[in-house]
Structure 1
Amino acid sequence: MDAGFFLWFGTFAQSLIGTYGYVGLFAVNLIGSATIILPLLPGFLFVFAFGATLDPWLIALSAGAGAALGELTGYAVGKGGGAVLEWKHNSWLKRAEKWSNSHGIFPVIFIFAATPLPADVIGILAGVIDYDVKRFLLASFLGKFVQFAILAWAGFYSLSWILPYFGF
């Protein structure tokens, strides 16, 4: 993919959010999180930017829901490709499954979703070990909600005094 595509998609996403608001943020974060390993578009940038103009709590709610649903692609890859992974990395997966059964994987999913850690990796692992999809979605949503609430409020409080320095 070339830079032109990313510029076009960024403009498209900005137009989508500008027109549809919270639904647009949901869609942009759904698309951005549905890609595995490398995001097509980092939705968190739009969460930060639109924090200055939209309600930060509703941004966190809509973008978090979209991002959590997008993370299901990693879960589906793990669920569908689990047989291949189990065959190649059987001892590692058995240790991971044993650890998750004794300690729980919910907080790990939450931490990966709430931080810049690659949530796709933990989504694939959750699919491989057949972790409950509802719990996976809940942990992903809660983590993304926390991350996006922080970013939206940061945009709310900072952009109004940063942008004048750049002539906006």
Structure 2
Amino acid sequence: MKLYLLSRDGDEKVVEVIQSGQLFAEAVMFMDERRYPVNASALSDTHLVIFDTECFLQLLGESPDLALKLLGGLSRRMHGLLSQIDELTLHNATYRLVSYLLAQAHSQAGQVRLSIPKQVIASRLSMKPETLSRILARLRERGLLEVQGETLVLLNESGLRRVLE
């Protein structure tokens, strides 16, 4: 799922990409106005599970462990969003892309499968798709990565980390 905002001109800004098994919109049940502040759109075939707010709040009241897990998840998301604000406001496009690639490759043994469209990744990183393509081309020319269809192979992770310094 992509979570996004629309500008007055109709431009889309991807705020977050939700992966399989992740929660989203859970904070709305604690708000006075229960309206989610962003739009959501499926990027692929999706099965959503919707929880009844009153029932879920009752479960939270009965289960301190569940409440703490939910708070932990909300805290991690908040810290992640604060990190995104830092990256988007203090770093250039190359830094943002390399940081994204290294984070994605962390659990995939030096490979990043682009399971979402490049324009969604570009929007999420606050750049134009053409900028993303140019940066990937420069990184490829420097021997730091290789493009194999929808998979990026990070050939030189230490070199990519030096880009972040």
Q: TM-score, normalised by structure 1?
A: 0.29
Q: Could you say which structure has the greater relative contact order, defined with CA pairs below 8 angstroms and 6 or more residues apart?
A: 1
- Between structure 1 and structure 2, the one with the greater Rg is 2
If the length of structure 2 is used for normalisation, what is the TM-score? 0.30
Higher normalized helix content (fraction of residues): 1
* Structure in which a larger fraction of residues adopt strand: 2
